[in-house]
Structure 1
Amino acid sequence: MRVTQAAAPRWTSARASWHTPVLGVLACATVALAPMEGYLFEVHGQLAKVAPALLAVAWVVIRVRERRAPNAHPVHAVLALFAVVLLASAAVHAGGRFTVDYTVRWLPFLLLTVIIADIAARELPIRLLLGAAAAGATAAAGSALYAMFAEGQPRASGPVEDPNDLAYFLVVAVPMLIAVLPARPPTPPLSTTASVSRAAPTLGTMVPSGRWAVIGVRVVAVLAGATLVAGAMATLSRGGFLALTAAVGWLLLRRVLPLRVLAGALAVVALIGALAMSLAGPALAKALGEKSFIAGSNVDARELRWQAAARMLAENPVLGVGPGGFRSDYAAASHNAEVGEQTPVAHNMYLEVAAELGLPGFLLFIGLLVLAAVATERALRASRDRRPMVAVQAALIAVAVASTFLSQQYYLPLWLLIGLAVAAESRLHERRGSADAGAPGDQ
């Protein structure tokens, strides 16, 4: 009996020891590979779904074995209600051309939000997932820039087929780099006595090495940030530029972006731009001219689509036109305004969600964003290190701005940020609960 009792904790600990690495590898792979889905699709049409599917299976199996449910949060209730509205709208419009495909696209993101929120609250550091997202986006930016100059493409693309969608991934990842920057090591006081200096010679050797490590990480972050910004600029996405401006402005407003880091990143971006002009000046000038030429027509097309989305919502306010219904109903709703585009997206996440899922779905969707913003602010006020939560806030702002011009509800960054916001607030509640349990009054 004594042997069994002594062995049980070790077995439980050993079992738990492999849970975290498995979930960590799969979660980081899911996050890092999301900006590379274009390349994955070229290899196999289902390859981009492998990492998320394995993560979901592993999470379910582990939580069932542990008999542990995710910590309750208001976001879970909103996600559940949103899923009900989604399925109800899909059932009403079951005969739609894209209904099944888009319903299947929605549901995994809702589940992934719950999974990310749970594992980031229990097993994985929030910084790790932010770093994985930033690393994947940086790799995508670098490969897109290389393909642009090596293959003569007019705009950066490839990792994601549409340059505007690629810009979305890159811009949202820029604030995430702030979360992985190390804090500056404390400088030892200059007024130390000779006896103290002689008694602790190792202190003098440790501080410079710590500083060099900090400098090294900051240099890597500057290079990564410059690559992300250069890649986003190379997509020639105006919505991406506005989103980047808003995100960087928020980082400066909350005083978490060191001016030296910003200046270094801008200098590297300027260097990349000068190098690009020297190597491919005529091609870049041609691309900018083409972008300026079609800019007016793009504005007109988006105005037509926004009007069509508003018309669909007005005619179907309860359950909308169904998942994917904007694409199938656009020609009729717009009175065939775009002959060359019969099944486009709305290029506005908010109007597209409202048109397809009605007012209930739209309000629940906005509720997710509001709850995420509130959760980050609560966690921020109780955090000693403000950078991770400010980074999440800035990335959410980038999502909100970019999605005014793009349909981004089917891409991971939005759902990753909601999950991380929930995880941060869950961690806060757990710390407060532990503190209360350890208080003398409770004891």
Structure 2
Amino acid sequence: MTPRAVVAPVGTIGRETRLLRVLACATVALAPVEGYLTSVHGQLAKLPPALLIVAWAAVRLRRRETPRPHPAHAVLGAFAVLVLASAAVHADGPFTVEYTARWLPFVAVAVVLIDVAATEVPVRTLLVAAVAGATAAGAGALHSLAVAGAARATGPLSDPNDLAFVLVTALPLLVAVLPAEPAPRHVLAVTVAAAVLVAGAAATFSRGGALALAAAVGWLVLRRALSPKVLARAAATAAVTAGAALLLAGPHLARSLREKSFIAGSNVDTRELRWQAAARMLAENPVLGVGPGGFRAEYAAASHNAEIAEQTPVAHNMFLEVAAELGLPAFCLFLALIAIAVVASERVLRSAADHRPMVAVQASLIAVAIGAVFLSEQYYLPLWLLIAVAVAAALRARGEGRSGDAGAPRDQ
């Protein structure tokens, strides 16, 4: 294989490019509503990324191409090796196979998205797909609260906190998808999406989601990607919407708030117990951890049966859970991926005519990092998508696409 495309009929390459674009966008857009897909068939949510990986491999083999190298590839490869090593050492764990099968597809999807976003798929198109999928999830959240009568919004994801994470990390990307000189229809579409995402996230009553959103918005304002005037208007609109919701569904919202307040104190206590258990696991197994899914298997013993009603939980902290299950070397690589995304986005930002897309990606990464302090979100796409988008944008900016034009797809 060579890093240069083999000359082929334009029509053939055009069809392949369109296929990769459709599959990449489908993978990104359908990820936030995976619960709906799973309810139809247990494996349906896995179909879009599987098709993307297979199609990408087939296209690259036919064209005899390899992805242009980036430090992120080495880190992803080393991380995958450590995941497999930890799984091999803890092969007898009850959840090892299941969680290894969760890790590796995300690594593979990240590699594929980096490559296709660097050449075939415009970065903005992927971000639009992410926002569209999250908006659909937000609509589902509102439906579950207002129509289905749930105490807290769930919709396409069974856990309200996970749903809040998906919605909040998509909100900053609205800044990226809006053109520099938007037409009225663009402004209307972004306004509607913002309203649905904010209302859906609020309907989850997630405190971690609120903190993540506040930090992301603060970053957008600090980096001048979001003007204080627009923020003030959005806050006023949100206040009016909240007031209308109280008038229309006051008793239901009051009941939801009471239930949330009742479990809030318990959540703080249980999270502290789980974080302490994760720290013990890491201290006892610093090199390869307790294995993929090992936190669930070892929690009862590590916590001395602190939670009788919940013997196989998640850590509710992505960083502690990754470190406890995979060990310090893998955890350092995991952090390195996030750092690479931040550095890549900053380099692109400094040379870009429009700085908003990369500032939006950075704000979304901040939302991921803060939300992940309270949630185990390594098995959701937003983190991996943001890493891929930042790296792909850096490759485009450096002109390392195979076409010779950083912004053009291979068939142009």
Q: Per-residue CA shift, 1:257-303, capped at 9, x if unaligned?
A: 13454344334423332232122111110111111111111000000
In structure 2, C-alpha distance between the alignment counterparts of 1:236 and 1:102, rounded to whole Å = 29
Do the aligned residues in 1 keep the contact of 2:29 with 2:130 (CA within 8 Å)?
Answer: yes
Check if 1:286 corresponds to 2:222.
Answer: no
Question: 1:129 aligns to what?
Answer: 126
State percent identity of aligned pairs. Answer: 63
Partner residue in 2 for 1:68 = 65
When normalised by structure 1's length, the TM-score is: 0.88
Structure 1 residue matching 2:147: 3-state secondary structure: helix
Contact 2:119/2:401 (<8 A) preserved = no
Relative to the length of structure 2, the TM-score reads 0.94
Which letter maps to 1:273? A
Would you say the 8 A contact 1:223–1:268 is kept in 2?
Answer: no
Match of 1:26 in 2: 23
Question: Which residue of the partner structure matches residue 349 of structure 1?
Answer: 318
Q: Unaligned stretches of 5+ in structure 1?
A: 1-7, 185-212, 436-443
1:122-201 matches, within 5 Å, as 122-184=119-181
Q: CA deviation at 1:431?
A: 6.7
CA distances 1:86-133 after superposition (whole Å, capped 9, x unpaired): 101000000001000000000000000000000000011101000110
Cα distance 1:298–1:407, how it changes in 2: closer, same or farther (>3 A)? Answer: same
**How big is each residue's C-alpha offset from its partner over 1:395-424, in whole Å with a ceiling of 9 and x where there is no partner?**
101000000000000000000000011101
Q: How far, CA to CA, are the matches of 1:327 and 1:288 in structure 2?
A: 30
Q: Of the candidates 289, 292, 302, which is equivalent to residue 320 of structure 1?
A: 289
Describe the SS at the equivalent of 1:70: coil
Partner of 2:188: 219
1:432 shift after superposition:
11
Determine if contact 1:37/1:159 at 8 Å carries over to the other structure: yes
- Counterpart of 1:305 in structure 2 is 274
Residue 409 of structure 2 corresponds to which residue in structure 1? none
- Mapped to 2, the partners of 1:268 and 1:48 lie a distance apart of 35
User: 2: distance between equivalents of 1:79 and 1:51?
Assistant: 21
Deviation, structure 1 residue 32: 0.7
Shift of 1:387: 1.0
Q: Secondary structure at the match of 1:337?
A: coil
- How far, CA to CA, are the matches of 1:284 and 1:348 in structure 2? 28
What is the aligned partner in structure 1 of residue 98 from structure 2? 101
CA distance in 2, matches of 1:271, 1:20: 45
Residue of structure 1 in register with 2:299 after alignment: 330
Stretches of structure 2 lacking an aligned partner (at least 5 in a row) = 1-5, 406-412
Aligned partner (choices 112, 116, 123) of residue 113 of structure 2? 116
Matched, 1:414 2:411: no
Query: 1:295-329 CA distances to partner (integer Å, 9 max, x unpaired)?
Result: 11100000000000000000001100000000000
Partner of 2:32: 35
Counterpart secondary structure, 1:151: coil
Q: Which is higher, the Rg of structure 1 or of structure 2? A: 1
Q: CA contact under 8 A between 2:175 and 2:226: conserved in structure 1?
A: yes
Tell me the equivalent position of 1:365.
334
> Which residue of the partner structure matches residue 410 of structure 2?
none
1:234 aligned onto 2:214? no
- Whether contact under 8 Å (1:78, 1:367) holds in the other structure is yes
SS at match of 1:61: helix
| CA-to-aligned-CA distance 1:244-268 (integer Å, 9 cap, x gap) | 0011111001101134543443344
Alpha-carbon offset, residue 84 of structure 1: 0.9
Q: Which amino acid aligns with 1:116?
A: L
2-structure distance, mates of 1:266, 1:218: 17
Question: Aligned in 2, Cα 1:290/1:279: closer, same or farther, shift over 3 Å?
Answer: same
1:73-92 equivalence runs, <5 A: 73-92=70-89
Residues 143, 155 of structure 2: 8 Å contact kept? no
Q: Output the CA distance in 1 between the equivalents of 2:220 and 2:288.
A: 38
Matches within 5 A, 1:200-215: 214-215=183-184
Q: Deviations over 1:129-153 (max 9, x none)?
A: 0011001101110121022111211
More moved, 89-98 vs 425-434: 425-434
SS at match of 2:329: helix
Query: What amino acid does structure 2 have at the position aligned with 1:93?
Result: H
Deviation per CA, 1:189-218, whole angstroms, max 9, x where unpaired?
Answer: xxxxxxxxxxxxxxxxxxxxxxxx623211
| 1:361-418: CA deviation from partner (whole Å, max 9, x where unpaired) | 1111111111111011011111111111111111101000000000000000000000
